[in-house]
Amino acid sequence: MGNELSVTFHGGAGTVTGSCMEYCHDGKRLLVDCGLFQGSRTLEALNRSPFAFSAKQVDAVILTHAHIDHSGLLPRLVAEGFNGDIWCTAPTSALLQFMLADGGRIQEGDAARRNRRRDRAGQPPFEPLYTEEDGLAAWRQSSAVALEQWFEPIPGFRARLWNAGHILGSASVELEVAGVHILCSGDLGPEHKAFHPDPQSPAGFDHVICEATYGDRKRDHLTIEERRRLLGAEVNAALRRGGNLVIPVFALERTQELLLDLAALIGSNSIPATEIFIDSPLASSATGVFAKYAEALEDLDGAVFNHPAFHFVEDVNASIRLNSVSGAIILAASGMCEGGRIRHHLKHNLARRDSTILFVGYQAEGSLGRIILDGSTRVRLSGEDIAVRAEIRRIDSYSAHADQDDLLAWLGARQPIAGSLFLSHGEAPAIETLRRLAQSRDYAATIVAPAMGETYRLPAGGPARRTKTGDPALQAAIGRDWQNSYADFVTNLKAELAEIEDAATRARAVAAMREVLIRYQQVRAARKSGDDRRP
């Protein structure tokens, strides 16, 4: 490593999940975040790949916030030998107790369900990535620090946390190492977000690492009252259809914002006082943390979460009983439909023409939520093919992320940037759009879109220099994968064959597809035997 300060992007580069940056100087290692990859099966497989560093050699972690795509690999890091402090704000530490334990329970439950599936018969048992106890062990290593107070996570590394306005406890990270001044934005919230003041941090840095989730998207900047009117219209339209309104939610922040608005809409008679089920034990726990910090949050009276229309569903049997309800509102995690109880409710509501699925958060490429939102007519869910007949709706105004205008304003307020601006935590179109706009405004001498696995030297007062290229295998895991394509193919295959005009032609189509697979098998066999000839 030498004595030069460097940063390596192990995740959250070219993708919006798996955030993890490794800062190295003088034999010391500091991680900013250690998050879970979410999306396609190929991308999620990276969660089981060996870390690119030794967990035992990591000296400390600074965590920007409690979302699983930033914190979700901490249990594995600890299980593999990391014994340092995980520095974060007090609300983030309080949330981690529930977030990481719940993540472990989800991993254990998903492993058990996969092992029960008929299509896995005869395969080796699927092991959970980590357990509930692993999650609690990681939480016990968290150390709370106040905003805007300098602390020393490692000798030679100074740090301060600044409000990022994204979720409860979220922070940007200011670092001073060997005379180099750096700011890591973490996830930034939009202007005038519920609960939190606008993002804050100083100006004038050598290097800035900024998220770019919505770098290519502008949203209407609505007041809370305007946002509530939009939600009310969606709720009323869904209830008129007669079925359930199912909302995939992030248990942390999005759930609490929705509950705040639903209570207000019921109170003003804008929507009927229908039953609202919050089917996520994690959301229940996170709501308790929000109530604890209610006095420090804007727009919030902690008593709102005790509204008589709200029913917090704790046990699995109570969740299953929701299969028989109709005309209810069901909020369930996870927000991108990649795990948790939402998949159960999608299984029982996607095929119902009278039900509505309302998306209120970002859907990463390759995730089930993105596939549904992009208009797929059939999806593969827990080994079954499910027709999508429900009404699919979306509201953008609940995003916890800054949009393009917010990001440019935040970057403008961080001027001057003497060295490099890094744009991370975004998909390629978002990063490229934001890069062009930042370049046109002269926001930094150099603007870098790092790839996963790349390492950069960070000098004081000058541009960053790449010292290690990224790993093509890591970069190839980003976006839709073959399993997304396979699921789309097989779920629509029968319907597409049925549209062929006669049985004989359908039989020829099936035979042609089988012939393709036979040719691949022959090629593979020839390669194994060392015969370069192609059949």
Q: 436 and 371, same structural domain? A: no
Write the CATH number for 67: 3.60.15.10
Q: What is the pLDDT of residue 237?
A: 97
By mean pLDDT, which of 44-48, 339-343, 472-476 is the weakest? Answer: 472-476
Instruction: Report the alpha-carbon angle 416-422-425, nearest 5.
Output: 130
Work out the average pLDDT over 391-405: 92
Residue that has been written with the tokens 């960053």 in this structure: 464
**Alpha helices, DSSP H only, in 9-121?**
41-44, 68-71, 74-79, 90-116
Over residues 58-69, mean pLDDT: 97
Alpha-carbon separation of residue 453 from 81, 173, 433, 481 (angstroms)? 22, 21, 22, 20
Question: Does residue 360 register a pLDDT over 70?
Answer: yes
Does 287 have pLDDT greater than 70?
Answer: yes
Determine, yes or no, domain membership for 44.
yes
The per-residue pLDDT for 124 is: 86
User: Does residue 265 have a pLDDT over 90?
Assistant: yes
Q: How many Cβ atoms are within 10 Å of 319's Cβ, its own excluded? A: 19
CA distance 420 to 464: 6
218 falls in which pLDDT band (50, 70, 90)? very high
18-22, 246-250, 314-318, 355-359: least confident range: 314-318
pLDDT at 531 over 80: no
Q: What number is the average pLDDT over the span 36-62?
A: 92
**486 inside domain:** no
Minimum mean pLDDT among 85-89, 392-396, 523-527: which range? 523-527
User: Which pLDDT band holds residue 534 (cuts at 50, 70, 90)?
Assistant: very low
Backbone angles phi, psi at 9, to 5 degrees: -95, 105
Is residue 460 predicted with pLDDT exceeding 80? Answer: yes
DSSP string, 26-82: TTEEEEE--PPP-SSHHHHGGGGSPPSS-GGG--EEE-S---HHHHTTHHHHHHTT-
Query: What was the pLDDT predicted at 350?
Result: 97
User: What does the pLDDT read at residue 130?
Assistant: 95
Residue 302 domain-assigned (yes or no)? yes
Which residues span the domain enclosing 348? 224-394
pLDDT at 125 over 60: yes
Average pLDDT value for residue range 355-379: 91
* Residue length of the chain: 535
Arithmetic mean of pLDDT, 390-410: 93
pLDDT at 329 over 90: yes
Average pLDDT of the chain is 90
**Using CA atoms, how far apart are residues 191 and 218, in angstroms rounded to an integer?**
12
Single out the residue of 23, 22, 402 nearest to residue 215, CA to CA. Answer: 402
CATH at 377: 3.40.50.10890
Count of domains forming the chain = 3
Residues 260 and 385 occupy one common structural domain: yes
Boundary of a domain, candidates 327, 361, 394:
394
In the predicted structure, residue 417 carries a pLDDT above the cut 90: yes
Determine which of 4-13, 251-260, 274-283, 481-490 has the lowest per-residue pLDDT on average.
481-490
* 58-62, 147-151, 157-161, 317-321, range with the lowest pLDDT: 317-321
Asked, as a colleague might, if the bond just before 416 is cis with ω within 30 of 0, I would say yes
Q: Which amino acid is at 176?
A: E
The Cα 117–Cα 95 span in angstroms is 33
CB 419 within 8 A of CB 7: no
Q: So what's the pLDDT on residue 517? A: 81
At 483 the pLDDT is 57
What pLDDT is recorded for position 132? 96
d(CA 30, CA 8): 11
Q: Is residue 119 part of a domain?
A: yes
Q: Are 474 and 453 in contact (CB under 8 A)?
A: yes
pLDDT band of 456, cuts 50, 70, 90:
very high
Asked if the structure places residue 235 within a domain, the reply is yes
**Do 428 and 315 lie in a common domain?**
no
The tokens of 464 are what?
């960053």
How far apart, in whole angstroms, are the C-alpha atoms of residue 519 and residue 62?
52
Q: Which of 127-136, 217-226, 366-375, 479-488 has the highest mean pLDDT?
A: 127-136
Q: Answer yes or no: do 364 and 343 share one domain.
A: yes
Cα separation, 213 vs 426, whole angstroms? 4
Q: Is 512 within the bounds of a domain?
A: yes
Considering the domain boundaries, does residue 496 fall inside one?
no
Q: Is the pLDDT of residue 423 over 60?
A: yes
User: Cα(378)–Cα(3) distance, rounded to whole angstroms?
Assistant: 55
Query: Residue 416: which of 212, 206, 210, 209 has the closest Cα?
Result: 206
Sign of CA dihedral 484, 490, 495, 499: positive
pTM of the model: 0.82
Lowest-confidence pick of 18-22, 43-47, 75-79, 84-88: 43-47
Average pLDDT score over residue span 59-71: 97
CA distance 128 to 145: 32
d(CA 251, CA 255) in angstroms, rounded, equals: 5
Model pLDDT, residue 217: 92
Around 381, how many Cα atoms within 13 Å sit in the side-chain half-sphere? 26
- Domain shared by 143 and 23, yes or no: yes
Using the 8-state DSSP alphabet, how is residue 26 labeled?
A: T
Of residues 504 and 165, the one with the higher pLDDT is: 165
Residues 265 and 365 in one domain: yes
Residue ending a domain, choose from 476, 494, 515 = 476
Same domain, 19 and 141: yes
Q: Edge-to-edge, what's the strand order for the sheet holding 60-62?
A: 142-144, 85-88, 60-62, 28-32, 20-25, 6-11, 455-457, 465-468
Indicate whether 324 and 209 sit together in one domain: no
The pLDDT assigned to 366 comes to 80
pLDDT surpasses 90 at 472: no
Task: For residue 10, tell me if it sits in a domain.
Answer: yes
Distances (CA, A) of 512 to 84, 241, 490, 515: 58, 43, 16, 5
359 closest CA partner among 403, 401, 398, 305: 398
* Paired residues of 428 in beta bridges: none
Two tokens, residue 238: 């869904």
Is the same domain home to 328 and 440? no
Let me know whether 242 and 201 are in one domain.
no
Q: Where are the alpha helices (DSSP H) in 391-502?
A: 404-413, 428-440, 472-476, 482-498
- The answer on 368 and 284 residing in a single domain is yes
pLDDT bin (cut points 50, 70, 90) of residue 491 is low
For residues 462 and 444, is the Cβ–Cβ distance under 8 A? no
**Beta-sheet pairing, 455-457 with 151-154:** unpaired
pLDDT at 535: 44
Average pLDDT for residues 292-301, to the nearest whole number? 81
Tens-digit pLDDT profile for residues 174-205:
999 999 999 999 999 998 788 888 999 999 99
Among 370, 394, 418, where does a domain finish?
A: 394
Q: Does residue 17 sit in the same domain as residue 112?
A: yes
pLDDT in the model for residue 228? 94
